[in-house]
Each structure stands twice: as structure tokens, then as C-alpha cells.
Chain A
């Protein structure tokens, strides 16, 4: 049950790492809370034509909008499915409202619920607990139960641990032994990596030695399966201190993703016919 990776992360080309670690039908968690979103890895999954994925992510963002629109997903587990500060995710809405390109099952939680589900998975506990969900209509539509605290008698929400087959995150840098450091908004990436059976980390660059950063989070190479170098691999999201969030693209996506054909044409030109950046 507990994940014990005794190996050292291998630095590999992205296409190879994705082919090895992500399979049809897998539960895949690609995290990054508005920051460090692993777009390059997601685009590689789309290029490899993965199908029937259970996509897990607190904030699906443009990345899952693209993967859903390209038919990679059968199910979505999430807590906030919007284009941050802009509006709707049109491909996701089309899938939920009209079943295009395929019906999409959804399981939705609150952010606090998802965060505690990841933390429980990372802790190898069966569930997370929090004060929440009480009185919401979510209770009737999602996987939450209520438990009584054995010490105080307080009723608390219990949410099942997330145990993805594979977690994929993006970070600023890795050293040659596969240790990873990320800084800026840390989101829930560390928890996702530790909760998953397999983990892939894409990085902006490989360095000889990680230099400790204020607020930096280090994930050791021995809990990661593969590192792939993907410069600008978070675009249109960003890597703090290295690249800027492309707010104009987030606004532009609102327009070009509304129409199915325009969306497909964009994906063909920018994803399907593109190749990954060589490592």
C-alpha cells in the first residue's frame, strides 16, 4: 500500500517518460495551483493519444480543458473548474452539458476537501478530516461521510484519500540526482507526488547543485520516477522567477475555445503537430 520508491529519479526525454508512466485508464493528478501547471506534460499525453483517463486536479484550468476537449478523459475529479479571473472553461462545459467529444463523469469537492484528500493520500491514511460540507448540496452528489470525533464528540467531514496512479508536476529545477526544488506558490504538488503510485516531474532546468530558496520546497529524487526537462513547460502558467504568467493567453483562450472547430484547429497546430522541446 505505502509507496516505497527505492530508486533514484531518472532524467529522461519527456515523450519516453510519459509513455512509460501514463497508461490508458489511469487516474492522473497533474497539480499546480495557478502556478507551475505542467502543460508540456499534458500536451505530450494528448499527443500520445491516451484515453479513458480519470483526471484529478483541484483547478482543472486550461490544461484539463484541452485534455477533455481532445477526448483523453472519462472522469474528472476537481474543486474549481473555471478560467481564473476570466470565466468558464468552454471545453469542459461542452463535455458536461452536451457530452462532447464524449460524456464526462464528474466528482466535485471543495478546495479544503481536495487538499485534505491529497494530504491523506500522502500520509497513507484512508481518509482526511475537516470541518466542512455540512449543509451543502455537495453532500448528496459527492463522496463525503461524517464521523464523530472520539475525543470531543464533534461531527466532522471525512473525505477519502486520493491515491492517483500517477502524479505529474512542474518545478523550476532538478539536480543531476533527480532532487527537485520548486518555489513561489507551492499549491498541493508535494502532497500529489507523495500520494501517487508513480511520479513524473518536469523542470525548467537541471542544475549541478540545488541552491536553497526562500519558501522553497524540495522533493527528493527517491520519491520520483522520472524527471523530464521542459523549458517553459508551464506556459501559459508560469515558473516563479523564471517565466511570467501569460494572462493574455488566458483571456484569448476564452475566445478560441468556445468553438469546437477553432479549438481543434488550435490544438492541431500548437500541440498535435508540435514536438516536445528536446531535453
Chain B
């Protein structure tokens, strides 16, 4: 349920976006949901080169056949990064990460020492240049002390996201750039969020409770997941 709220809150953030760059997982589900019930003109862009994809089901990989078959057009990897991402033609980036620091920078490379890692993660992929090229960056990540850390083990993606959307709430940068809790999801307490954050998390004076998913949002998400 809290995961559903996270997906729906992420989808709502795309209400006025022209285009969104997404990886698979929750960001992809949120973007597909947004296109179906909130913003039908939203252009979905996947790293595999599919621009304007219109998937009816949730893809397992960014290269699933349905993405290419339904895209407005499909481009090569060099074209994707050089012509579309680098010049800022894709408005919003939805990124995930294994670690997020207090300013929203991301690690997706290693846990532990680089030369002798405790856990070797997949690595940068497109994230550094996507975060740099897209005018608006949002991070979608599960809220735990493992993920929200005071110090990254490796700085893969320097970025200052406009929002970090978790399964407990939403963090946004304060005046000093530090991520601050601005929204909690229904049924979540501030203490719970702070306990699951690896630094002394600031809380906004005007903290809001996320609008609960509407029946329509909930139904649309359930239908999408079941398809």
C-alpha cells in the first residue's frame, strides 16, 4: 500500500510534464500510470532508445519489445544521449539509486571500497548525464537507513533533485539545498521517517500529509499491475 502511494505520488508529479526519462521499476510504473490517467500527452522515453513509448503493460526491461513497437520513433544509443538528453530535450528524469545523500546526490556503483567492494552494484548506466541534461530531476527510492545515508560510498551521479519520492513521504531541498521532509504519506509518522533516514533529517515547518490515492488512481494502478 505505501508502495502504491509512492507510485501514485510520483505519477502526480508528471501532471504538467512534456516528457519523462525513466528506467524500469517503480518510476516506469508511475510514468505509465501518469500517461493513462493524468497526462495523456506525456512522452515516455526509455534509455533503450524508445521515444514516445506507449506500453499497456509494465515492462521487465527497458528493451522489451512493446516499448519499441509502440514508440513514436526509436533511436540509437549515441543519438539518445547526444541529441536528446545532453541538450535538455527530455524535461524530467526519474532516477533510482542504492544510496541517496542529504543533498540528493546518488550512488549506484559500489557499497564499500571501490577496489574491494562489499557489494558491486550495476554502475552508472545513463544516470550521470541524464541527471545533468534533464532540466528537472526526481528520485524515486525506498526509504531506509541503507538507502538514505549521510555519506555516499561512491558518488555516481551528482545532482540536486527537485524531489525525492519515497514509500514514506517526499523530501525536497530547503533553502540551503539540504533535503527536507515536506510531505508524509497517510498513516506515516515523522518519527518513522526520521528513524529510516541515516542523517538528522530536517522537517519542513509546513509539513503536509500526501493526499490519499483516489479510488480512480488506486483502481487504475491495480489494473495496470494486473495486466
Q: Which residues of A contact B (CB under 8 A)?
A: 33-35, 58-59, 78-82, 84-86, 88-89, 92-93, 96-97, 108-112, 115-116, 118-119, 130-138, 141, 184-188, 190-191, 215, 217, 237-238, 240, 244-245, 247, 250-251
Contacts and interface: CB of A to CB of B under 8 A. Distances in A.
B129 A110 contact: yes
Contacts of A191: 76, 78
Interface in B54-93: 59-65, 67-69, 73-78, 80-82, 85-86
A132 B128 contact: yes
B78 A118 contact: yes
A33 B123 CA distance: 16
Given A33-B77, A79-B123, A85-B61, A185 B129 contact: no
Interface in B140-174: 154-158
B204 to A, nearest CB: 27
B129 A132 contact: yes
B2 to A, nearest CB: 21
24 contacts: A33-B48, A80-B126, A82-B121, A85-B62, A108-B123, A108-B124, A110-B124, A111-B77, A111-B129, A112-B81, A116-B78, A130-B129, A131-B86, A131-B132, A132-B128, A133-B128, A134-B158, A135-B158, A138-B124, A187-B49, A187-B77, A190-B76, A240-B69, A245-B64
Contacts of B40: none
A9 B128 CA distance: 39
Nearest to B118: A97
B109 interface: yes
Nearest to A96: B120
Interface residues of B, number: 49
A33 B49 contact: yes
Contact of B48 (A35, A137, A251): A35
A133 B127 CA distance: 10
Contact of B156 (A81, A86, A138, A187): A138
Contacts of A34: 48, 61-64
B129 A84 contact: no
Given A81-B120, A119-B78, A186-B75, 17 more contacts: A79-B124, A80-B123, A80-B124, A84-B62, A85-B61, A97-B120, A112-B86, A112-B126, A115-B81, A116-B82, A133-B128, A135-B158, A136-B157, A184-B65, A186-B76, A240-B69, A247-B61
Given A84-B24, A137-B109, A141-B114, A188 B61 contact: no
Interface of B: 24-25, 47-50, 59-65, 67-69, 73-78, 80-82, 85-86, 109, 114, 117-129, 132-133, 154-158
Contacts of A217: 76
B60 A111 contact: no
Contacts of A93: 119-120
A111 B68 contact: no
Contacts of B114: 137, 141
The 10 closest A-B pairs by CB, nearest first: A34-B63, A82-B122, A80-B125, A84-B61, A135-B158, A112-B129, A112-B81, A111-B126, A85-B60, A115-B78
